[in-house]
Amino acid sequence: MTETANDTSTCPLCDGTGWTLVLEDGVEIARRCECAEDRLRRRAVERAHIPDRYRHCTLDDFELWNPEDPTLGKALREVQEFVDLFPNTDKGLVLMGPVGTGKTHLAVAALQQVLAEKRPGVVGRFADFTSLVLEIQMTFDGSGGSREILKPLVECDLLVLDELGAGKTSPWVMDLLYYLVNSRYLENRLTIFTTNYSDFPKKAGEESLTDRVSQRIRSRLWEMCRRIELRGRDYRAERLAGREGGLLR
Ligand SMILES: Nc1ncnc2c1ncn2[C@@H]1O[C@H](COP(=O)(O)OP(=O)(O)OP(=O)(O)O)[C@@H](O)[C@H]1O
Ligand SMILES: [Mg+2]
Ligand SMILES: [Zn+2]
């Protein structure tokens, strides 16, 4: 969304200045107008790097579509509670579960709602683990370049790190990811992780989250986050396919 001069010039509250005068204890003081706050919030959503495919996601449109799956309703309630509490909570979220169960949907919905409704100025970022690993690997030596990539992710108020543990990593990339997670841990910054990996893989030979991201990252996760497990079926396969005559979105 691009801004136009019209965004403010039509505002009846501030006459397009972005500021209103209010009386406080008999003294007139300048306050940022609602329209300016809305603009800041919209900008924050635009700068969060949310993939287009997930921009439509809200908590309101998360369907409790499978009555046999109590984890859907529980997950939705817990994510809503996180949003309601934000920023007054010390726990982020880890959304765990199989493919297509709505983990990314819920994580993005939470991020967008926080940016749209909480105090303007909250900085949020979405990062996909696999792309992040690739970006870091492209800096080759792991020096200055990778720190530049990680800086906004270390510093933002709310980070969504999607698909934790996916793809191929190397020990030095893992060290940088540890730096990211540990920096946020030390500063009590809130993070929502999603992952396909669990602590107790169902099938023999399948890797656990610890296998994928190392014990030191995993143990910080549990301290930083509440765990939310989705155990149900694949929404893509069952709902989107049915709705669109067998074609997946
Ligand atoms: N309960 C739901 N209500 C509405 N839409 C849903 C629901 N669950 C999933 N979706 C939609 O289905 C698609 C797949 O969901 P999503 O990408 O969130 O799954 P995921 O658990 O992150 O899967 P993966 O492990 O493959 O990343 C998305 O378009 C999402 O918006
Ligand atoms: Mg996902
Ligand atoms: Zn205004």
pLDDT in tens, 68-115: 999 999 999 999 999 999 999 999 999 999 999 999 999 999 999 999
Q: What is the DSSP string of 153-170?
A: HHH-SEEEEETTT-S---
Give the CA distances from residue 163 to residues 7, 31, 35, 167, in Å, rounded to whole numbers and listed in that order: 37, 41, 36, 9
Q: Which atom of ligand 1 is nearest to the CA of 98?
A: 25
Residue 99, ligand 1, Cβ within 6 A: yes
Average pLDDT over residues 139-154: 82
- Whether omega for the bond prior to residue 87 falls within 30 degrees of 0, making it cis, is yes
Residue 193, ligand 1, Cβ within 6 A: no
- pLDDT score recorded for residue 8: 46
Per domain, the residue ranges of the chain are 1-46, 49-243
- The helix (run of H) or strand (run of E) holding residue 228 is strand 225-229
The string of pLDDT tens digits covering residues 190-214 is 999 999 998 888 888 889 999 899 8
Residue 160, ligand 1, Cβ within 6 A: no
Quote the ligand 2 centre to 110 CA distance (angstroms): 14
Residues pairing with 159 in the sheet: 125, 191
Pick the CATH number of 49-243 from 3.30.390.30, 3.40.50.10190, 3.40.50.300, 3.30.470.20: 3.40.50.300
pTM for this model (two decimals): 0.90
Residue 60, ligand 1, Cβ within 6 A: no
pLDDT band at 10; cut points 50, 70, 90: confident
Closest CA to 111 of 83, 130, 76: 83
If you take atom 16 of ligand 1, which residue's CA is the nearest one? Answer: 102
Average pLDDT over residues 125-154: 87
Q: Which of 2-16, 36-50, 198-212 has the lowest mean pLDDT?
A: 2-16
pLDDT band at 169; cut points 50, 70, 90: confident
Q: Which atom of ligand 1 is nearest to the CA of 101?
A: 21
Q: Which atom of ligand 1 is nearest to the CA of 107?
A: 18
